[in-house]
Amino acid sequence: MAKLEYIWLDGYKPTQSLRSKTKIVKSFSGKVEDLDNWSFDGSSTEQAPGGSSDCILKPVYVVPDPQRKDGYLVMCEVLDSTGKPHESNGRALIEDDDNDFWFGFEQEYFLWDPATNKPLGFPAGGYPGPQGPYYCSVGANNAFGREIVEEHLDVCLEAGLNVEGINAEVAAGQWEFQIFSKGAKEAGDQIWIARYLLERIGEKYGVAVNWHCKPLGQLDWNGSGMHANFSNSLLRTANSKEKFEAVCEAFRPAVAECIAVYGADNDQRLTGKHETASIHDFSYGVSDRGASIRIPLYAVEHNWSGYLEDRRPNSAADPYKVAAVIIKTVKSANV
């Protein structure tokens, strides 16, 4: 018998949440093409009215579930009752059928103590010392929740997710993992499955995951982002400063379209402080972490060939929608 955990995104606004349910089958090959569509009650997830509540789950990506015997994690797109992509389905917006676009997402988050309603490492009656010693830290005075982070890394790797690294972040209780994929859809699939696994591990420890981009408000603490590193054949083989700048300039008229899908409450994070550009500006620069788009030194040192980093997407953004708008914008560049 195989346990198939069908995972999808609900219709809540402005930020979608993960949902899942288990299907038991006698046997399963491990291949996504051998999975059947399934249905769920969309009236309970803000995706359908009660009088016509069926929505369809279409499996699109599957990996082994390391935490379950004979288990698999099945990422699904949501279709409406006619079989068309549901309006909440950001994956269907991605125009990258040839996987020419490569994405590396840097997913930041806070481990959150429900008892204190503060991050791990924050005393119940106040705040820890100012940020500075927590970034890439070690030791019980500065690193909080490592047992959760290490378990999450192990299960992601066992599932076959392409995690390229983890680190403690600038604020106490804040961490990051990075995932890379050659193909925008799979990059989004892997981020969502990694988020799902982290949430599920947190259940065991009684620790929540706070994906909000600025959970500590306007106090002097960094927010959380999901920086999007991206490239396509044009960028990887550009050999041209002018081509890189043309791609960057293509994002200037698309600021509003990008910000609309870069995560809720991003005005709280994109203030021009704490390694961010202002939400009201657009800029790019070589090795500039205070710019909207950073041109990595790697690209300059490789004769202006490589990738770009959009630093504006926040930690709660949907990687599917982020990838979709980046792809659309890069394709619009006058190169």
Task: Give the mean pLDDT per block of 10 residues along the chain (335 residues).
Answer: 98 97 97 97 94 93 98 98 96 96 98 96 90 96 98 98 98 97 98 98 98 89 95 98 98 97 96 83 93 97 98 98 98 92
- Give CA–CA dist 256/230, Å, rounded: 19
Q: Enumerate domains of the chain plus CATH numbers.
A: 2-89 (3.10.20.70), 102-331 (3.30.590.10)
Measured in whole angstroms, the distance separating CA 160 from the mean position of its chain's CA atoms is 17
How many helices (H) does the chain have, and how many strands (E)? Answer: 8, 14
CB 120 within 8 A of CB 144: yes
- Give CA–CA dist 135/174, Å, rounded: 9
Structure tokens at 137: 């830290």
Given the structure tokens 């002097």, which residue do they identify?
220
Q: How far is CA 105 from CA 19, 64, 175, 249, 257, in A?
A: 22, 22, 14, 22, 19
| Count of other CB atoms within 10 angstroms of residue 183 | 19
Helical axes 319-331 vs 184-205, angle rounded to 10°: 160
CB 227 within 8 A of CB 309: yes
Given the structure tokens 């909207």, which residue do they identify?
292
Beta bridge mates, 165: 178
What confidence score (pLDDT) does residue 274 get?
A: 66
CB neighbours of 121 closer than 8 A, spacing ≥ 6?
128, 134, 142, 144, 145, 172, 173
| Count of other CB atoms within 10 angstroms of residue 284 | 22
What confidence score (pLDDT) does residue 144 get?
A: 98
- Give CA–CA dist 145/121, Å, rounded: 8
Q: How far is CA 243 from CA 235, 240, 246, 299, in A?
A: 8, 5, 5, 12
CB 276 within 8 A of CB 314: no
CB 313 within 8 A of CB 294: no
Cis peptide bond prior to 14, omega within 30° of 0? yes
Which amino acid would we find at residue 177?
Answer: F
Consecutive H or E run containing 266: helix 266-269
Of 191, 34, 219, 28, the closest CA to residue 104 belongs to 191
What stretches of 90-157 adopt beta strand conformation (E)?
Answer: 102-113, 118-119
- Give CA–CA dist 263/242, Å, rounded: 30
Helix (H, G, I), strand (E, B) or coil at 156: helix
Given the structure tokens 């994906």, which residue do they identify?
211
- Give CA–CA dist 127/134, Å, rounded: 13
CB 314 within 8 A of CB 307: no
| Count of other CB atoms within 10 angstroms of residue 68 | 14
Consecutive H or E run containing 60: strand 54-64
- Give CA–CA dist 299/195, Å, rounded: 30
